[in-house]
Each structure stands twice: as structure tokens, then as C-alpha cells.
Structure 1
Amino acid sequence: MPIPVHDIAFKVVSDSLEPSFFDDEVMFVMKDTILRTGDISIVQINSGYFVMKVSQNRENGDILFNSINSIEAPFTLLEKDDFSIFDKVVLL
């Protein structure tokens, strides 16, 4: 399988990103890219780092971050949240 253009790669350790990424799989990441609805990104929210899917609430325009494993509820950013987008995950 060809390796996509990327800036950094991470090895997935655990099953917390299934079914999108599996244990021991490599996740390729691009820095400084524009995120769109449906993209997967590495984000910092308050003091934690997460791999989440970006979406937008159609009713009020709020940015939502959805857990990839679908067990967690979507996270809505609040004004009080300390938030940074680090990178966009490149999908094959």
C-alpha cells in the first residue's frame, strides 16, 4: 500500500480508535492543514489530546468533535475551553 504524503506518523497503541484505526496500525498526519467537516484531527481540549472527527451543528453552527469509536458523546467547544488543533490525519 502506498504511503501518503505526511509530516509525522504515529503508531496506534490500543483499540480506542476502532473501527477507524486498529492496534499496531500507523496513522499518518499532516501539519497546518485546513479542517473540514468529516476530517479526523489531533486536537488539544483543555489538558487532554484526542483523535476526533470534526463536524458542525447544523442548527447553531457550533463546531463538534466526535469520538471515532462512537462510544463517547460528541464534544461541543465552549468559550471557556482551552483548545488547539494540531494536525489532520491523512486517510489512505
Structure 2
Amino acid sequence: MIEFADILKASKKFSPLSAKIIPFHHPVEITWEPVSAGTGNYLEDSVKETYDVGHLAPEQTDFGVRISGDSMEPLYHTDDVAWIQKKDSLANGEIGIFYLNGNTYIKELHDEPDGVYLISLNQKYRPIQVLESDSFKIFGKVIGKCKGAEIPGFH
């Protein structure tokens, strides 16, 4: 049985083209100051640097943050980079980057009848309650991660 591709080639009206691989560039700004998967670090005035992360970050990524600490293990580890989509609010149970009283955290947001809490995945850490008197801000939602060592030129 003759295949359609063979008929096209024999007709001399078709010639296969070689594929050219085009590199995928995806520049993303990553903060130098790590967010805390523990007791908290400050992020707002942190130095930032742009890296070409290619396929490592989801397309919707607005920025990346370094992770420090073990409170979000087993999912997030020290020296991972979390990819963030900027958002002013998150749904209950979503993991995000939060500013609370001078520190920045990666935590899971829980809106309970008795208050709002930032929850660690690691059970050895207690929930952090967000009080009305606290200085609190949501930077965005965590939409992915990679190991810092996977990013070319990242240190």
C-alpha cells in the first residue's frame, strides 16, 4: 500500500522542510531576599534580578521568590524558587506570598469563622493568626516552583 506522503514526494510538488528549533525566552524577575517558609523575612524592598527561566515558570508568572525554611515541606524546600501570579486576594486553601507585620511568608491561607490564618504544611509549625490590627498584604498566588539550581546563572 502506498502512503500519502510517498505519493507527495514522488510528485516532486512536495519537499520536506527541516524544523528549526527556536529557543523559548521567558524573563522573570526573582527577588534576592528569600520569603520565609518559617518565621518570616521582609520582601518589599528586596533587590531583584531578571533571569531567563524558559519553560521552568508558568506563562502567567509575574515574579519569582526564593524560599528559605522548612515550614512548607514536603512541597517547598529551602533554595526552591516559587513562581508567583500577582493577586490581591486568594481563595481559602490557596498557597500564596503574604506580608505580615514586616515579614514575608509563603503559607496556605485559611479563612475560618474565628479568623484568618496563615498555615504551614509542615505540622511542626503553628498557624499564624492575622489580626485586624496587623499590617497584612497578599502579594500573590504561588502557581509553580523549581529548584534554584535549575535556573541558568541563578546564584
Normalised to the residue count of structure 1, the TM-score between the two structures is 0.77
Alignment pair present for 1:44 and 2:106: no
Aligned position for 1:72? 125
Aligned position for 1:30? 85
Aligned position for 1:8? 63
Change (3 A) 1:78 1:8: same
Measured after TM superposition, the shift of residue 2 of structure 1 is: 6.0
Distance 2:115 2:74 in 1: 26
Aligned position for 1:17? 72
Structure (1/2) with the larger strand percentage: 1
Which structure has more relative contact order (CA 8 Å, sep 6+)? It is: 1
Deviations 1:36-59 (A, max 9, x none): 1111111111111111101122xx
In our comparison, the structure showing a higher alpha carbon Rg is 2
Are the equivalent residues in 2 in contact too, given 1:44–1:84 (CA < 8 A)? yes
Are the equivalent residues in 1 in contact too, given 2:62–2:83 (CA < 8 A)? yes
Distance 1:77 1:69 in 2: 19
Secondary structure of the residue aligned to 1:6 is coil
Deviations 1:52-76 (A, max 9, x none): 101122xx25221102322211112
Give the one of 46, 49, 62 matched to 2:115.
62
Aligned residue-pair number: 90
Matched residue type, 1:30: Q
Are the equivalent residues in 2 in contact too, given 1:51–1:68 (CA < 8 A)? no
> Which stretches in structure 2 are left out of the alignment for 5+ residues?
1-54, 146-155
Stretch of structure 1 that moved more, 68-77 or 9-18: 9-18
Distance 2:64 2:135 in 1: 25
> Which stretches in structure 1 are left out of the alignment for 5+ residues?
none
Instruction: Among all aligned residue pairs of Structure 1 and Structure 2, give the percentage whose two residues are the same amino acid.
Output: 28
| Structural RMSD (CA) | 2.2
